Structure formats: C-alpha cells, structure tokens
Structure 1
Amino acid sequence: MTSELQMVENGGSSAHNEMQPVVTELDDDGRPKRTGTFGTASAHIITAVIGSGVLSLAWATAQLGWLAGPGSLVIFSAITFYTSNLLADCYRTGDPILGKRNYSYVEAVKSSLGKTHVWLCLICQYTNLYGTSIGYTITAAISAGAMHKSYCLRKRSEAADCKISDSPYMVGFGILQIFMSQLPKFHDLWFVSILAAVMSFSYSSIVVGFSLARVISGGTHKTTLTGTEVGVDLDASQKIWIVLQALGNIAFAYSFSLILVEIQDTLKSTPPENKTMKKAVSISLSITTAFYFLCGCLGYAAFGNSAPGNILTGFGLYEPLWLVNIAHICIIVHLVGAYQVFAQPIFSMVESCLAKRYPYLINSSKTLQLGGKFKVNINIFMITWRTFFVATTTVLAIAMPFFNDIVGFLGAIGFWPMTIYFPIEMYIKCRRIRVFSAKWIWMQSLSAVCFIISVSSVCASVQGIVKSLKSYTPFDNLL
C-alpha cells in the first residue's frame, strides 16, 4: 500500500506550533485509494444492464417466438459473459494484477491496440453512451406519461379522450438531470447505483408478477413458435425487419461492456480487480438473465403476438393500479441513476481533455457560502457544459420518441464494437494468442457472426425510425 505523508500545522494555541504527519492513502498509481467492492461493482452493472431494455423484452420475444426468443436471450447472455471476462483481464496492461492501470475503455484500447483503434473506439463508445442517455430520457417520460394517463382515465372514464404528451415529462427529467450531473466524479455515484439497482429489481418483479397473474387468470392472447405471423398487417419483408429490430432490442438489454473498465477502475486492488470484476459480472448477469427470461417469456405469454413495445403500458388500468404506478415510479428513479452512470464517462473524457489544454477552465472554481458554515465549490465551465449535454439529449428525445426503434438502434450499434470486437482484439494482443490457432479462429468467427447481426439490426432500426418519422411531428405536443 502506497501512502503519502503531508506535514500540516497544528492550529492549537500553544506557543510552539508543532508539525505532525497526516496520512493520505493512495493507490499504486498515485491516485486516491479506490474503495469499490464486489457489491458496488455488481450494483453498477445491474444498474447499467437492467434499464429500459427489460421493458421491451416481451415485445422482442413476440417478434421472435417461443423458439428464437428465449434462445436469443441465452445466446446474448453467454456472449456478453464471455467477452466481459476477456475485457476484465485487459484493465491492466501486461500483467493483469501488477500491470499499468487503464482508467477508461478508450485508454485500455490505446494501451493494447494502439492509436489507430482509438478513434473508432471513441466514436462507438461515446455515441452509444450519448444515445443511451436519450433512450433513458424517452423511457422515463413514457412511464410518467402512463401514470398521468391512468389517472385521467380513472378520473373521467375509460371512453374519455386522455391523450397525454410525453414531451413535458422529458423536459422535467432533463431538468432533474442537470442537477444530478453536477456530481463531480463517477466514484460519487455508488449510492445512486445501489438505489437504482433496488428500483430495477422492484419494477422487474412487478412486471413479472402482473404477467404471471394475467397468465393464471387466463386473459392471454395467441402465441406461436415463430412469433408474429405474416398476414394482412405484416408482410414477409416487414417480418424480417422487425425480427432484426427485436435482436437489436435484446442486444441493448445486455449493453454494459462500454462502461465495464470505468466500473472496474472503482475497485480496490485486493483482491485483484479482474477477479472481483469477473465475479461481479457472473453474479450480475445470472440475476439479470433470470429476470429477462421471466419478463420476456411471461410477458409474451400474457400479451401474445400483440405484446406492447413497453410492457408496462400494456397493463393500463390493470388492478391494483397503485402497484402499476409504483412500478412506473421505480423505473423513473432507476433511470435517474442509470442516466448518470452512462453520462459521467462522457463528462470525465471531455473535462480531462480540456484540463490538459485549458487547465484554468477545470481548476477555476468559486466558493459559494450557504448559511453559516456550509460552502459549495462551483465550477462555471462544468455547470455550463454538463447542462448543455443534458439539454441536447432532452431535445433529441423529444424529436424522436420512438421507444423500440431507438432501443434497437442503440443496441445494434454498440453491441459488436464494444461488446465483441474490442474485447476480443485486446485479449488476443495482451495474451499473444497465435494467429490461426483454434482459440484465434473461434474468437474471430464469433466476431464475424456478431458483426453481421449488428449491421442487419442497425439497418432494421433505421428503417423503423424513418417509417415512424413519416407520421410524427417533432415538438408538436411539447406543451
């Protein structure tokens, strides 16, 4: 354990000021000692994994059917588990226990693969992080709007016109995130992640409970082995597009690898970070996959081939209504924390880059005196830049509030590069896997198959967004 001794004056009233050492614990890289554990890492992962993606799994299963739906959940879970373990071993360059730390995903890519891959990684990672922030804004607003609509229908009648716009709720969510975004460090989010993890378990359990109750009561719809059927409302080409989009939705449900290195950088070094991270990944993915199976399969059994894009909206005035609304509240609280888990790496990257060229922007803080002894340090640049970031995600969410299309697009563009390609290439380079060896061929084959699936899902989601934009006027219902 490395420590630094600093000599400070003893502010007592004695005639001779004494000097005494104060111990500030530092890690092997000279940074403040990390205190993250298996528990906090698991909370961060669950917060990142069980997000808005879980709400679309019943719809995705409905497009794929009883064969491909559950099978896709198993395959995506296994692939994510495998490549996340590879990535955990790349946190330190060289020796996985004693090597140089990489503080971010991009830095790990740079250390292992060189500068030529850095730009591709930057574009993929931060585009996905930014897009996920937009997706979470949309999802939180849908839940808030659903609560408002249920109240309206109850107060008037089920035949009343209760058309609710989600746009004002997106604005409200954005305002809340402006305040949340002023947290200075990713490490400061541990309590937010733990609360968000509890919320994710809560609303997932409620969804499972409602779906199970609907199945038991017999209020179910038609299900098939191949999902939605080609017919009057769905031709063969549309079926292909929607299946590919469903795969993108499932990929999004497992998208957390892009912040895995940042999470691993919060862990203390004893036991070794890679061992703690692998354990956290194993437990977290096991728990989330079990929930995914319950939400996807029971949701499909409950709603059949007509499963809604967001499963909670399908329950409408389902009794008890207060429990449905609690689920919506849990989603909103969870996404408040999840938004920050995905936004903080962007804040850190931008501010770290600017600190090297314009240090006065980052280091010039002003102290605001509140009351007698309470002081708050304010950095004008950080407040302005982070507010701008939140504002842009809010505006784009209002402009394109298409839940399944956006979720599928985000899952597709982030899955192959961040979850498959970079972890595999970094591991091959770090462990010096011989070209054309059995392990090398297996890894490259996996990467090639996932690339084809990701590109196809991106095309399908873009087609869905274009189709939705034809019948939607952005900002029309803002007020």
Structure 2
Amino acid sequence: MSKLNDSAHGNDLERKPSKVEEGVIGKHGSTSPLIEITHNDKWYHAGGHICTIIATPAAYAPLPFAFAHLGWEAGVIFLLLAGLVTWYTSLLLASLDRHDGKRHTRYCDLAGSIYGKGGYWSVIFFQQLASIGNNLTIQIVAGQCLKALYRLYHPECEPTGACGISLQAWIAVFGASQLILSQLPDISSLREINLVCTLCTVCFAVGCLAMSIYNGNTQVDRSTVSYDVQGDAKPKIFNIMFSLGIIAFAFGDTILPEVQATVGGDSKKVMYKGVSCGYAILLSSYMVVAIAGYWAFGFDVSPFVVFSFKEPSGMLAALYIFAVLQIIGCYQIYARPTFGFAYNYMLRPYEGVWSFHNVLMRAIVTTIYMAIITLIAAMIPFFGDFVAFVGAIGFTPMDFILPIILWQKVGKHSLIVSIVNWCIVVFYSIIAIAGAIGSIQAINADLANFNVFADLF
C-alpha cells in the first residue's frame, strides 16, 4: 500500500489503493490475483472461511479410523495436540501481517518478505502440493458420497448393472459443478457460500455424533466391538504412521494470509478472534466425532465413518448431502492458490476482472485444472491413502512447521519460547516423515490390489 507524506505532522498517510494495486490481478511475486481486497469481511467471515477450509468431511470422517490404529489414549493426545499446535501457529502467522510495513496478501509473499526467494518458492511448492492433493482427496469423497446417495434409493442398482452409475461418473459430475463455480474471481465472492458450508460442517459433525450413538446401540452387537489395535507388529507400525498423517490432514490450512487479506479493521485482532472461534469449533467437533465413531464400531470402523452407518436412511442421506455441500466450498478455496499462480502470468492487470480476455483465460486455466484433478481422482480413488499422504507432506510443513520458522526469523524471542517452538518443529518434522512413509506403503498396497479406474464403492 503506497503512502503520502503529511509534512505538517511528520506522519505517513495511507491512501486507498486501486483494485489492481490491491490484487484483483497482481504481478508475479507481488499481490494476489485471487482476492478483490475490499477489507470488508468480519471476524465471523474469517472464521467461516477457516472452518470451510479445514473441517471437511474428508477431515472428520477418517478420525475414528485413526483412533482405531492409535488406541484411545494416543488418539486423544495426538488429536488434541495437533489442534492446539495449529491454533498456536495460526496466531503466529496472523501476527506477521504488516511485519515489514506492508500487507502481504499471499502466504508465499509473506515468506518471501522474510526469507527471500527461498521462502517464496518453498511456500509455493508446499502450498500447491497441499492444495492440489486436498482437492484430489475431497473430490474422491464427493464422488463416493454422491454414489452412496444414489444407491441408497436404488438398492437394486449394482455398479456393473444396467442402471448402475460408476464412481468415476460421479467424480466427473462433481468436477463439472466445480468448473462452473471456479469462474468466480476471488475468495471474497465465496463468502456467502462458505457460511452455508460452515453450517453444513456443523450439521455433518452433529449428524455423525447422532448416527454413531444410534448405530452403536441398535445396529452393532456390543459384545463383538474390540478396541484393541490388531495386526502384526510391522503393519501396526505402518498404520500408526498412516494415522498420524490423517490427523495432520484434519488441520490442513495453507492460505490463512489470503483469508486475512479480506478482513477489515485491525486485521490481527480480527484474525485472532476468527482463528480462535474457528479452532474452538474444529477441535471440539473433531474430538466428539472421533470418540463417538470409534466407540460405536471399534477397530472395525470404516476409513470414512459414514460408510459404517446403516440406519436410518433419511439421516444417512442428509449426511451425504451435507458432505457434498461442504466440499463444494472447501474445494473452491483450495483451488485458488493454483489458479492464482497461473493468473499471474495470463491475466491482464489493466483490464477489468470480467473483461473478455480475463474471463477466457480464467476459463482455460480452470478447465485444465478440473480435467487433470478429475482424471487422477477417477484413476486411483484411494481416499484414505491420499488423506494421510497429503496431511504428511503438504499440510504438516505448511501448518505446523513454516509458521514457527517465519515467526522466529522476524524478531527476538525469549529462550524458553524459542526452545518450545523448535521442539514443535522437530517433533512435527518427524511426524511428517512417519506419515509419508505410512501413506506411501498404503498406496503401494492398494495399487497392487486394485486396477486403475477401480469402481471401489
């Protein structure tokens, strides 16, 4: 933001920037073309964005499965620890707004201002990895939920039957719907959608709790439910690593500075309130869903807990619908960093957002993106494996490690604070490696057992 000198008072006065300066269509390495920064969003909009970004059905539903391979004590400890650490690191990241007198509207620009080109490109790499991996994962979930909803009311239809619709077809349907929404130019234009998605998040969590209690009491023989971690030593170790990746995925958030760029007033205070509200909802609902789902089905719980539920069918249908609606908003936000990276080179900053050239370039970029993600999701629809993999190698660096490294670089901190921070960095670096190993082992096992384009559900 440029400044004017007020010589009478010896102060610099900020003038209101133009839309181009604010990042409607920015230049490479400067401001973000993702967001038309009106500075009008409130703390609850920020909290809604955060909940929509993080709390997807793909984050909620595998948590009981993670508990099944960690056990009660370790499951609760690791989930609680992950939530508190990412809440803390999100506050650190929000506090870096205007650390050098400039407002950075992208995570990569913030890192670049602190660590130069190395910081800029490191964030670009991990952000793209996490964003693309997240959307690949949740598109598989959306396809599975749409297919499950269809089969719920067409039980006679088998995937290979005359009236069957394959998982791949449902994945493609979801991709087509996202292509249409992707023509919206910025995150702010999604805020009403994301508030609806946040409501769906809460409804999904409450529904999972209610269905776990109901099915656990009426549909499951309690004498057969086991909470022992089963299997030989080597598979147990890999499954523990795999589960740590699932928990890391549950708190994935790679675009908090992009969200912060949309808020008005004192952005730090607004984000502190929005982040704290968002994480209060996240952690409490995660814990409830994980505990209830694991209690209901024990070690035999499905990797996507909703698929363990049997009755009632109406509530089951509602859960599938809540899941798909929530994923719509999450998918759009996570697609924006990738879109923006391409827009930096392809859009014309001197033309309006809705000019023919910019609309055409947006359509080309989004079509290529959707085609690639949809093809990969249809080819290897291994939902649980990708959750752990993306959590380990994408979200763990972005959410648990990089915010602390950036914050430590900016100013002087007490010895105790620095020791705690670097212990977190080391610990979650180990977690990232372990989660990656476990998820890669699971992907290899599935590739050996299933054909490409397998109709898994």
| TM-score > 0.5 by shorter chain | yes
Cα 1:278–1:71, aligned 2, differ >3 Å: closer, same or farther?
A: same
Summarize deviations over 1:225-251 as a string: whole Å, max 9, x none. Answer: xx422xxxx211001101111111111
For the residue of structure 1 that corresponds to 2:46, the secondary structure is helix
Q: Which runs of 5+ in 2 are unaligned?
A: 5-14, 23-36
Q: Which residue of 2 aligns with 1:396?
A: 376
2:88 matches 1:60: no
Q: Which residue of 2 aligns with 1:36?
A: 41
AA in 1 matched with 2:396: W
2:355 matches 1:365: yes
Query: Is the CA contact 2:381–2:454 (under 8 Å) kept in the aligned structure 1?
Result: no
Summarize deviations over 1:148-185 as a string: whole Å, max 9, x none. Answer: 232233x589xx99986311100000111110110011
Summarize deviations over 1:20-77 as a string: whole Å, max 9, x none. Answer: xxxx965899635310111100100111111011010111111111111111111101
Q: Which residue of 1 aligns with 2:233?
A: 236
2:155 matches 1:177: no
Q: 1:46 aligns with which of 47, 51, 61?
A: 51
Q: 1:352 aligns with which of 337, 344, 351?
A: 344
Cα 1:360–1:38, aligned 2, differ >3 Å: closer, same or farther?
A: closer
Q: Which residue of 2 aligns with 1:432?
A: 412
Question: Could you tell me how far apart the structure 2 residues matched to 1:65 and 1:196 are?
Answer: 31
Question: Could you tell me how far apart the structure 1 residues matched to 2:425 and 2:281 are?
Answer: 26
Q: 1:301 aligns with which of 295, 298, 312?
A: 295
2:361 matches 1:381: yes
Which residues of 2 match residues 123-162 of structure 1 at below 5 A?
123-153=125-155, 155=156
2:287 matches 1:289: no
Cα 1:164–1:455, aligned 2, differ >3 Å: closer, same or farther?
A: farther
Superposition RMSD in Å: 2.8
Query: Is the CA contact 1:84–1:281 (under 8 Å) kept in the aligned structure 2?
Result: yes
Question: Could you tell me how far apart the structure 2 residues matched to 1:309 and 1:65 are?
Answer: 15
For the residue of structure 2 that corresponds to 1:182, the secondary structure is coil
Q: Which runs of 5+ in 1 are unaligned?
A: 5-23, 367-376
Query: Is the CA contact 1:2–1:28 (under 8 Å) kept in the aligned structure 2?
Result: no
Q: Which residue of 2 aligns with 1:443?
A: 421
Bigger Cα Rg: 1
Q: Which residue of 2 aligns with 1:13?
A: none
Instruction: Write 1 or 2 for the structure with the bigger share of strand.
Output: 1
Q: Which residue of 2 aligns with 1:417?
A: 397
Shift of 1:395: 0.6
Summarize deviations over 1:273-306 as a string: whole Å, max 9, x none. Answer: 1111111111111111111111100100101110
Question: Could you tell me how far apart the structure 2 residues matched to 1:44 and 1:363 are?
Answer: 22
Question: Could you tell me how far apart the structure 2 residues matched to 1:442 and 1:164 are?
Answer: 52
AA in 2 matched with 1:63: H
Question: Could you tell me how far apart the structure 2 residues matched to 1:33 and 1:287 are?
Answer: 27
Q: 1:113 aligns with which of 112, 115, 119?
A: 115
Shift of 1:416: 3.0
Query: Is the CA contact 1:361–1:381 (under 8 Å) kept in the aligned structure 2?
Result: no
Shift of 1:389: 0.4
Shift of 1:330: 1.0
- Percent identity over the alignment is 27
Question: Could you tell me how far apart the structure 2 residues matched to 1:36 and 1:184 are?
Answer: 16
Q: Which residue of 1 aligns with 2:11?
A: none
Query: Is the CA contact 2:245–2:389 (under 8 Å) kept in the aligned structure 1?
Result: yes
AA in 1 matched with 2:124: L
For the residue of structure 1 that corresponds to 2:437, the secondary structure is helix
Question: Could you tell me how far apart the structure 1 residues matched to 2:217 and 2:436 are?
Answer: 37
Cα 1:242–1:164, aligned 2, differ >3 Å: closer, same or farther?
A: farther
For the residue of structure 2 that corresponds to 1:252, the secondary structure is helix
Query: Is the CA contact 1:351–1:362 (under 8 Å) kept in the aligned structure 2?
Result: no
Question: Could you tell me how far apart the structure 2 residues matched to 1:183 and 1:384 are?
Answer: 14
Query: Is the CA contact 2:346–2:361 (under 8 Å) kept in the aligned structure 1?
Result: no
Query: Is the CA contact 1:93–1:111 (under 8 Å) kept in the aligned structure 2?
Result: no
Question: Could you tell me how far apart the structure 2 residues matched to 1:3 and 1:120 are?
Answer: 30
